[in-house]
Structure 1
Amino acid sequence: MKRKNYSGYTAYSYLTQGIDYRPFDLAAETDRVPGYELGLTAEQEDRAQRLLADNVVVSLHDHPIRLPARPEELSEYQKAAHVALGYAGLSRSGLDAVFENLGGPGWSWQDTITDLGMRLCDLAHQDFVVTAGTTDAIRTAHATGRVALVLGLEGAESIEGDIDRIDVLYGLGVRQLGVVYLEENALGYGLQAPVDHGLTELGRKAVRRMNQLGMAIDLSHAGDRTALDVIEASEQPVLITHAGARAVWDTVRMKPDEVLAACAAKGGLIGREAAPHTTVSPAHRRHGIESVMDHFRYCVDLVGIDHVAFGPDTFFGDHVGLHRALAGVLNLEKFFASGPELVMTEYVTGLENPAECFPNITRWLVRGGYSDEQVAAAVGGNVLRVLDRIWGAPS
């Protein structure tokens, strides 16, 4: 396993639980469910470990925090303002960088800034996980055995229509912003909006501002027309950090070929999603790494391996239980009911948390006969290349 310079720090250990902040019973970071066996030979396993160690590995979208052991307590946990990063789990993840999206549905500007500030305060008390706003910082994390955290927001609702707040977020270290998260906001329309009227005039100004700042734009939750409008309006490549192909699994949460192809044509990236019951496939109706990789293969065939990546969208804890707890808020039944019948599962086999995703993705690619160069591109090289354009290449 890739060696990491981790000394054992746990989140907010400079404070005293129960005195300085409210304690919660948190989920285990690893080994919550049985591991997944991909059936590699000893030689293939050695090659997978070498590729994981030698290459810069980047998740375009995960939530490497420890969930409450009772997922229904998430809202209270977040309001208590001491959301715990899973440092020990990250030390076993093989990751050199991870895009961590803060906040939640319906969060105000004050909620977002409080969460961001508290997380940065915790990070300031250790030196294993570092914030990154440049590709140099990500490469340095790889070279020094650390993990780079790229701060982002899944939607722009919390800017409350004030474009200058994008500058504030950038100044506080945020380097990726989703245009819209659930239904609609002042910038555009989400996948749950009854009608997608596309990018608004304010949305066009926001895209221009993000281009000027060097902030990555995420379209994962944008409606199809809004996504196409953003791709056309942006002077830089854009990201679909966590999604799949609608041609493989016909639900509104997946992206149609037109959007995937337009994103790639602009030089952007498509990150493979693995949140429960999303990237399912007809060949693998019980969600797991095999169904996720069916979406990977499809996208490689559609746009080429230079435009694919992975954003598993996992937590340390019970992700299925979390979705059950948030089903009403996130309207998840709409996503499930909009497509073919699937087999419900208690967890996504092989991609259950941020600690196991990229080791197993790398194993799967090795087992599938992909070359060293292809593996390196898919697990992080493509992300670095595109971020060099968006953020600015190292001097």
Structure 2
Amino acid sequence: MTDLKDPQTTQPPVQQVPMQKKNYSGYKSFSYLEAGKDYPDWPLTPELNRVPSRAPEVTPEQEGRVRRLFQEELMISLHDHCFVAPQDLSRFLEFRRWGRDFTGYEGLSMSGLDAVFDNLMNGTAMITSRGGWKWDDTIFDLGMRLSDIAHQEMVMHCKTTEDIVSAKKNGQIAFIVSLEGAAMIENELDRLDILYGLGVRCMGIAYSEGNALGAGLKEPRDGGLTVFGRQAVRRMNQLGIAIDVSHSGDQTALDTIEVSEKPIFITHAGARALWNSNRLKPDDVIRACADKGGVIGIEAAPHTTLTEKHPRHSLESFMEHFEYCVDLVGIDHVAFGPDVLFGDHVGLHHALSEALSIGASRGHLQYEEVEYVDGIESPAEAFPNIVRWLVKHDYSDADIAKAVGGNVMRVLKEAWYR
């Protein structure tokens, strides 16, 4: 574990200043109800400066350029979980079974984001089961989250690309409902229509465990996309649901890319060539995705995007995966899906190691466990520090604009109905 007394990590955290002015009124999740009466009053993690995570050192001129880019360009996170975790993770499953995801509105107001693909509780929405990924739980989770969002003005439920543009113009953040796997549709194709009607705009094929559509990354053998999976891909194309293969097995991912008439996403992954983890994608999958016009989002969840050069997970190892993918397929096909949250992400992985298939995705790999990913610890700091890093490393405005939002928008204009 990281020693928080290490002088490298004890310097005062950067005082965060909003990258863009957002219409944040101070609203806290479910404050239209009475905590302790209508639902348990869970002590939650602070949304800002939870740990002394460090920003890249930039000059005042570079910081000025960073802030100009946030004002001028669309900032879209391809994958995050913008909830606030409870302080006591030993009670996390009990917390989850109440079905209330507390959105980090204050943290998001500092993030500079114009849009975020938020993936809800996904398989951890174990309201009615211990296995997760149930239809009733997904609908409960979705409805509860959107009920909370409907009671404030800064975050808006996004359904179209026009909503993303409007959100930036109006000081809002477009909330794009995403699901990391499709197990909950079982063998019911029309459930995709229902999810679309309820506002889901991005869906994964499988989350680690195989399902009726295809194999996840933890399966010992990957038989590829099933006949039903091919029907589901076609229906998602017809509806306008963007497709994600981040947690799918390699052959299932390749089949999905081939079958889909629209470009797809690898919303949150990295390059297996840099770190031999099933959780990351081999070159042939990344190339196939790009060849069909798709985009890979680089992820930063703890202990995913490590490298031999940077075996201690940080912003530097994360950005090494970004540069590798840019060299492999070009700047037009790489974006950012940090996959971060507000709270102790490492502790959450320990609490939910089986449900999140942590062991299966990392296998035999040995690495130094950190307590947090320095420089990219939460949604509040992720994109500001990513853009600082890009500016510091002399990326052009045009290339930064593509990576932080332009590439995602290009795919959405093809993959979504409108």
For this structure pair, what is the TM-score category when the shorter chain's length is used for normalisation?
over 0.9
User: What is the 5 A alignment of 1:134-145?
Assistant: 134-145=160-171
Structure 2: which amino acid aligns with 1:384?
Answer: M
1:146 aligns with 2:172: yes
1:7 aligns with 2:20: no
User: What is the 5 A alignment of 1:158-197?
Assistant: 158-197=184-223
Residue in 1 aligned with 2:66?
Answer: 48
Residue in 2 aligned with 1:253?
Answer: 279
User: What is the 5 A alignment of 1:1-395?
Assistant: 1-105=19-123, 106-339=132-365, 341-392=366-417
Q: Is the 8 A contact 2:117 2:175 kept in 1?
A: yes
Mapped to 1, the partners of 2:328 and 2:215 lie a distance apart of 26
The DSSP-based 3-state class of the residue aligned with 1:176 is strand
Structure 1: which amino acid aligns with 2:315?
Answer: I
Structure 1: which amino acid aligns with 2:148?
Answer: D
Structure 1: which amino acid aligns with 2:169?
Answer: A
The DSSP-based 3-state class of the residue aligned with 2:353 is helix
Q: Is the 8 A contact 1:167 1:213 kept in 2?
A: yes
Q: Is the 8 A contact 1:67 1:316 kept in 2?
A: yes
Q: Is the 8 A contact 1:286 1:342 kept in 2?
A: yes
Q: Which moved more, 1:330-339 or 1:245-254?
A: 330-339
Structure 2 gaps of 5+ residues are 1-18, 124-131
Q: Is the 8 A contact 2:300 2:338 kept in 1?
A: yes
CA shift, 1:74, in A, is 2.5
CA shift, 1:284, in A, is 0.8
Mapped to 1, the partners of 2:301 and 2:247 lie a distance apart of 13
Structure 2: which amino acid aligns with 1:153?
Answer: L
TM-score between both structures, scaled by the size of structure 1: 0.97
The DSSP-based 3-state class of the residue aligned with 1:189 is coil
- Alignment CA distance shift 1:31-1:358 (3 Å): same
CA shift, 1:216, in A, is 0.3
The DSSP-based 3-state class of the residue aligned with 1:355 is helix
Mapped to 1, the partners of 2:207 and 2:91 lie a distance apart of 22
CA shift, 1:6, in A, is 1.0
Mapped to 2, the partners of 1:174 and 1:111 lie a distance apart of 15
Aligned length: 392
Structure 2: which amino acid aligns with 1:233?
Answer: V
Mapped to 1, the partners of 2:298 and 2:82 lie a distance apart of 17
Mapped to 2, the partners of 1:100 and 1:239 lie a distance apart of 14
Mapped to 2, the partners of 1:143 and 1:331 lie a distance apart of 40
The DSSP-based 3-state class of the residue aligned with 1:330 is coil
The DSSP-based 3-state class of the residue aligned with 2:308 is coil
The DSSP-based 3-state class of the residue aligned with 1:329 is coil
Mapped to 1, the partners of 2:380 and 2:55 lie a distance apart of 15
CA shift, 1:256, in A, is 0.3
Structure 2: which amino acid aligns with 1:43?
Answer: E
Q: Is the 8 A contact 2:53 2:376 kept in 1?
A: no
Mapped to 1, the partners of 2:142 and 2:93 lie a distance apart of 16
Mapped to 1, the partners of 2:91 and 2:383 lie a distance apart of 28
Residue in 1 aligned with 2:129?
Answer: none
Q: Is the 8 A contact 1:250 1:338 kept in 2?
A: no
Structure 2: which amino acid aligns with 1:85?
Answer: T
Q: Is the 8 A contact 2:299 2:336 kept in 1?
A: yes
The DSSP-based 3-state class of the residue aligned with 1:241 is strand
Structure 1 gaps of 5+ residues are none
CA shift, 1:392, in A, is 4.2
Mapped to 1, the partners of 2:242 and 2:99 lie a distance apart of 26
Mapped to 1, the partners of 2:398 and 2:385 lie a distance apart of 17
Q: Is the 8 A contact 1:36 1:350 kept in 2?
A: yes
Q: Which moved more, 1:218-227 or 1:323-332?
A: 323-332
Mapped to 2, the partners of 1:90 and 1:354 lie a distance apart of 7
Structure 2: which amino acid aligns with 1:14?
Answer: Y
- Alignment CA distance shift 1:17-1:321 (3 Å): same
Q: Is the 8 A contact 1:102 1:154 kept in 2?
A: no
Mapped to 2, the partners of 1:72 and 1:237 lie a distance apart of 41
* 1:115-153 deviation per Cα after TM superposition (whole angstroms, max 9, x unaligned): 111111111111110011111100100111100000011
Mapped to 1, the partners of 2:184 and 2:212 lie a distance apart of 10
Q: Is the 8 A contact 1:62 1:314 kept in 2?
A: yes
The DSSP-based 3-state class of the residue aligned with 1:18 is coil
Structure 1: which amino acid aligns with 2:285?
Answer: V
CA shift, 1:70, in A, is 1.8
* 1:20-65 deviation per Cα after TM superposition (whole angstroms, max 9, x unaligned): 1122111111100113131111111111111122111000000000
TM-score between both structures, scaled by the size of structure 2: 0.92
* 1:352-395 deviation per Cα after TM superposition (whole angstroms, max 9, x unaligned): 000000000000000010000011110111111111111145xx
